[in-house]
Chain A
Amino acid sequence: MSDLTAATLEYATRLGDDALVLGHRISEWCSNGPFLEEDLALSNVALDYIGRARMYYTYAAELAGGGKTEDDFAYTRDAREFRNLLIHELPRGDFAYTMVRQLLVDVFNLLYLEALTQSADANLAAIAHKAIKETRYHLRRSKEWVLRLGDGTAESHKRTQRAVDALWGYTHELFEIDALEQSLAEVGIGVNNTGLRPAWLAQVSAILSEATLTVPKDDWAVRGGRVGYHTENLGHLLTELQFLHRAYPGLKW
């Protein structure tokens, strides 16, 4: 396998990990939503993410060869091998927390996928073209909810601000790049995410201000997802996600 193929395989796996872990988190709302329509909406968003993970993993499996499938990536790797950014694995929290995370991630994804549609890798570009259309719908909804909750009752405002404050330190990692991603960005395959922060911050700040929320100071940051250092939460999530496959390897539905 050439270095470029190996790097692309790792990159597709990372993006698949981001999508799978967040998709699983959102799916935890299924049957726990605050009301029926919201339960359906969250389940649908979760499905979009899991579908996205399948596309990235299927491509990674194709690059890996040797008969690997998407399931090998989702079900047989341990927490230390997952490369998702940490913001995706944090527990779902209350509804305000879930919607604030969606807003922060949706604005980021829109910018990121826009850039990825230009990828020199036809498969990654095709996945981005597909995913970005769904992300536009996700963002419309998360934005509406953050406005409604932030500018809602004293209680909803308090919880939404608490979520913004708790999540803010995890957003810095979204804009960090390592040598592998740098090398792919240089050949036009990967996205140089370091340049996306000004646009992200401008959009997020405008929405938070309109929602009467305060944009936190940048005085703390947590990182490590891309090298496999995770919070304790990922292991718990994988325990549930991988249980069936670990207990009955190769089981078919």
Chain B
Amino acid sequence: MTSTALILIITLLTLGSYWVGMQRSIKVAGGVSQIKNMHSLPQQFGLLTAFCCGLPALFLLLLWGIVEPIIIQSLLVDSLDAQVQALSSADLSLYLNDIRIMADSTLSELSNDGVKQQAALYLQVLKDQASILKSGLILITALASVMFIASRFKLSFSARALSESVTKFLFLSCSVVAIFTTLGILMSVLFESLQFFKSVSSLDFLFGTTWSPQIAMRSDQVGSSGAFGAVPLFAGTMLISFIAMTIAAPVGLLTAIYLSQYASPTLRTIAKPMLEILAGIPTVVYGFFAALTVAPFIRDTGEALGLNVASESALAAGIVMGVMIIPFVSSLSDDALNAVPKALKEGSLAMGATESETIKKILLPAALPGIIGAMLLAVSRAIGETMIVVMAAGMAANLTANPLAAVTTVTVQIVTLLTGDQEFDSPKTLAAFALGLMLFVTTLLLNVIALKVVRKYREQYD
């Protein structure tokens, strides 16, 4: 029985047990008219029964999914010859993989290796047994726990308190998912990075100025060493983020100021959705726009001016990324401006200052921490942006500050290193995780600082 089918059956059983619990509690009470004598309502009994049916079953299913492959593999290895068992772990996993493929495929003549075929058959048997065992165990557990809880029902049984604390516990575990996600990200990135730093020194990675992540097939081949100096990537990321911010920061801030201080309600009702549209456009669309419209335009203009522009220039990616970030900057700045107490603005206007003077000398300084927070968040957004740079910024790891040259970024390299065929333990693949670690740490720092700045500032006026 497949897991999907099993989940479906568990769901049906859970729904059924809700009904069973309700009926059973009514029976215990002695009919519908006697419900008032019960501590809890029949629905609460039903809910409790449903929990007793579904939760242990799902938990077991999860546990089984984790444990089963390990047990089956060790059983399989035990059944093999001592000669095979003595293989190195990499060779052994290859050998086992062959067996797995043979067991999964219906073609029995895939290989003429009799030992492997026998092992494949044995694996098939093991899997079949495990499947039957799994389904049986889970279904019996579900039914047994329903019977157990139903047998305990009596008038004073507080099903309400019990079912509510289970619900509350479920809510709690849902809110912890976020923490597990962060932990998972940190662990996966950190673990692989540590492995990477075993083969490449972390100083070379952080301060090296050559990036050419090749791994040699032979030791005598040209450029066999492979260079993992990430400085050109950091520089490229900075360059593109800088270009993006020179567009997004003034335009976003001015838009926020104009919309919140000057604009008529009509303009606001048109402009706000326009900004939402800009914010809602997928990054891959911006990437397409940057690569196929903006980049050729910049190249042609540059050529007309006699400049040497690369076909995948940092400028094209930066400009489009700036446009993408405008709504982000403007909505955060808008919040910051709106948080300034009205009295400050009105006081300034009453003293005879013009509106622009009030904005420049009163509102902006008062909202500055919030605006700085917004800019930091925008920078972190620009650094982590992937699709625009993948499609428009190119792969060449040049260490340059020239916006017309092609540069590459951290995110581009992560995508290039991890798409396509890969072996998981080569430094080339692991380098992507090291870059991911840098990206995660940088954006996290920016966010923490930004949120701190914003929060501290809010406390001043509240």
The answer to whether A and B interact is no
Residues on B facing A (Cβ under 8 Å):
none
Residues on A facing B (Cβ under 8 Å):
none
